[in-house]
């Protein structure tokens, strides 16, 4: 089928295209972008997107879909729908202890379930070590053969630095991107919040910034020695941004991301023991938040992700320290990205780049851009749809969001993957 999306404000950070124009689709691919179609193009279906923005489909570098094993929290079915409702067309499914993704049958199962939903593209990140226990390396060659697009040990510790070094060397052999969470677990201890005055006043054990920066320094030292590219996951502190910036200036192959909530929330948001703000790494202070925003603006931090972690209601009902960390974040990712531009932190096209072309470059994905001949993955965003978030309205099975009551300007109205509309808000409202 041939389709045309007319009168949309098309923004493609990769090419720099930013204008009101039309996009033409021939079956699964983009046939043309411009105000007039090719002479031989005759659309079977027309969508008038006047007043809406058209972005490349979002690429989310971190999501926990919980299936198999934790369907009481969420499922691939529920979260795939939540993702496309938020304009996300491609996501990276991270391993966790309950779903460690350390063998080929597990990878095959997840990919089969994801394909059955026929919605978001799910890329699987395999485990670096068996059961994420940090001791015995997985068969990374087998994981790649099964379809894994990267490996990680999630937030779990390595038994020693030698194991980490071997993992980096082994992953490079198979050209598997390394997603490493910089954490010195000895310094984390039993901490649950940022170490500082707020933690002291609340009587909660703190996590020092050094728990992150010492791990980054160690990883950078190994990168320099082995010349192995590494992606650092979820920076949270100003000092971390400085370390990564210096490493990049030295030409080391390192990239980094930040979770969207770290750009809007600080330790002050937990001052009433709000368990919905219990995240790892912890929310830090205003200076850290501003440094993280600057890091995204100047390219030190390459990408912004949702770090989507849906939970059941009970997971957030215990005393703060005993609650499970994480936010249900798919549906606030793009609205928060747009807000970064509205607040003047960076131009809109640069903000959109952090969730499209930049993560695509990190992972080697061919998506994240609007280009003739590429798969037609994009989202229409109605920036005149002003709304207030209610957790009960989230499409995700997880309702654990700290943004309850926040007002946002804009929602994805339609999402397309390979030229097919996989989400239409008008048909679900």
Contact 268, 198 (CB under 8 A): yes
C-alpha angle 424-350-401 in degrees, rounded to nearest 5: 55
Q: Which of 341, 149, 172 is nearest to 263 (CA)?
A: 341
Complete DSSP assignment for 206-257: EE-THHHHHHHHHHHHHHHHHT--EEE-----HHHHHHHHHHHHTT--EEEE
Strand partners, 380: 54, 414
For residue 418, the tally of other CB atoms under 10 A from its CB is 14
What is the distance between the terminal CA atoms of the chain, rounded to a whole angstrom? Answer: 26
Residues 29-66 as b/e (b if ≥16 CB within 10 A, e otherwise) read ebbbbeeebeeeeebeeebebeebbbbbbbbbbbbbbb
Preceding peptide of 68 cis, ω within 30°: yes
CA distance 381 to 409: 10
Active site residues: 307
Under 8 Å CB-to-CB from 140, ≥6 apart: which residues?
A: 126, 128, 148, 151, 170, 171, 173, 174, 176
- Pick from 140, 93, 144: nearest CA to 121: 93
């Amino acid at each position: 089928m041939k389709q045309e999306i007319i009168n949309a404000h098309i923004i493609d950070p990769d090419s720099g295209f930013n204008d009101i124009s039309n996009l033409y689709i021939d079956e699964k691919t983009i046939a043309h972008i411009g105000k007039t179609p090719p002479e031989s193009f005759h659309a079977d279906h027309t969508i008038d997107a006047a007043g809406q923005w058209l972005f490349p489909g979002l690429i989310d570098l971190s999501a926990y879909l919980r299936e198999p094993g934790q369907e009481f929290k969420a499922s691939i079915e529920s979260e795939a729908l939540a993702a496309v409702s938020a304009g996300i067309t491609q996501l990276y499914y991270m391993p966790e202890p309950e779903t460690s993704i350390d063998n080929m049958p597990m990878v095959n199962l997840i990919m089969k379930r994801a394909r059955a939903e026929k919605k978001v593209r799910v890329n699987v990140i395999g485990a670096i070590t068996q059961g994420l226990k940090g001791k015995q390396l997985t068969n990374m060659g087998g994981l790649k053969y099964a379809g894994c697009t990267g490996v990680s040990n999630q937030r779990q510790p390595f038994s020693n630095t030698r194991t980490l070094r071997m993992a980096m060397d082994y992953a490079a052999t198979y050209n598997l991107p390394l997603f490493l969470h910089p954490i010195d677990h000895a310094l984390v201890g039993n901490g649950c919040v940022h170490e500082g005055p707020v933690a002291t006043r609340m009587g909660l054990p703190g996590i020092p910034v050094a728990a992150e920066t010492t791990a980054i320094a160690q990883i950078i030292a190994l990168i320099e020695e082995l010349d192995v590219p590494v992606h650092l996951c979820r920076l949270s502190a100003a000092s971390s941004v400085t370390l990564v910036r210096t490493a990049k200036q030295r030409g080391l192959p390192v990239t980094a991301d930040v979770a969207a909530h770290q750009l809007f929330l600080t330790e002050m948001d937990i001052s009433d023991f709000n368990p919905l703000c219990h995240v790892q790494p912890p929310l830090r202070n205003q200076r850290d938040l501003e440094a993280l925003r600057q890091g995204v603006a100047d390219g030190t931090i390459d990408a912004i992700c949702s770090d989507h972690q849906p939970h059941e209601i009970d997971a957030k009902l215990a005393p703060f320290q005993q609650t499970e960390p994480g936010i249900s974040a798919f549906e606030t990712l793009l609205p928060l990205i747009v807000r970064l531009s509205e607040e003047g932190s960076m131009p809109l096209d640069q903000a959109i780049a952090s969730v499209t072309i930049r993560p695509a470059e990190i992972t080697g994905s061919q998506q994240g851009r609007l280009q003739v001949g590429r798969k037609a993955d994009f989202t229409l965003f109605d920036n005149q749809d002003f709304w207030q978030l209610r957790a009960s309205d989230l499409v995700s099975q997880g309702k654990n969001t700290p943004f309850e009551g926040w007002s946002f300007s804009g929602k994805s109205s339609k999402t397309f993957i390979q030229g097919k509309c996989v989400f239409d808000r008008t048909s679900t409202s």
